[in-house]
Amino acid sequence: MWTVLLQHTCNTHTGNLINYSAMITFEEFLEWKETGTVPEDIPLLLQALLLEAAGDWGSAHRIAQQEDSAEGSWVHAYLHRVEGDPGNASYWYRNAGKNRPALSLAEEWEYIAMALLKKS
């Protein structure tokens, strides 16, 4: 189980505010996914994953485009895979130093989330 210490006020996708000040587990991150909660002060790439899960691919893509890192390229690749653009996804996987995974999209989303939470 991955944990990351976050202290923040979070804005849900519907505009409600929730205060958090606790150790955040991967399971709690999955709860944010399920409820459409996108905290504004967690790392941007984690926000991108939550936005994509909430159906806001465009906002998630804008974040990934702005992140000049291997992790940003990885999220960018995943997003193009979601979009159904394998050629563009392959470019971004190469940029991230990764092979295109043989995972489902849902499995890759969780794998990326765990890696980003571990790094936070």
Domain boundaries, the chain: 3-119
Q: Where does residue 11 rank: exposed (0-12), middle (13-18), buried (19+ CB within 10 A)?
A: middle
User: pLDDT (tens digit, 9 = 90+) per residue, 92-118?
Assistant: 999 999 999 999 999 999 999 999 988
For residue 63 the two structure tokens come to 């974040």
Query: What's the CATH number for 3-119?
Result: 1.25.40
Cβ contact 98:77 at 8 Å: yes
What pLDDT, on the 0 to 100 scale, is given for residue 97?
97
Phi and psi based region of residue 20 (left: phi greater than 0; alpha: psi -120 to 50; beta: remaining): beta
Question: Dihedral sign, CA of 93, 70, 39, 106?
Answer: positive
Q: Quote the mean pLDDT of the chain.
A: 84
Q: Residue type at 76?
A: H
What pLDDT, on the 0 to 100 scale, is given for residue 23?
58
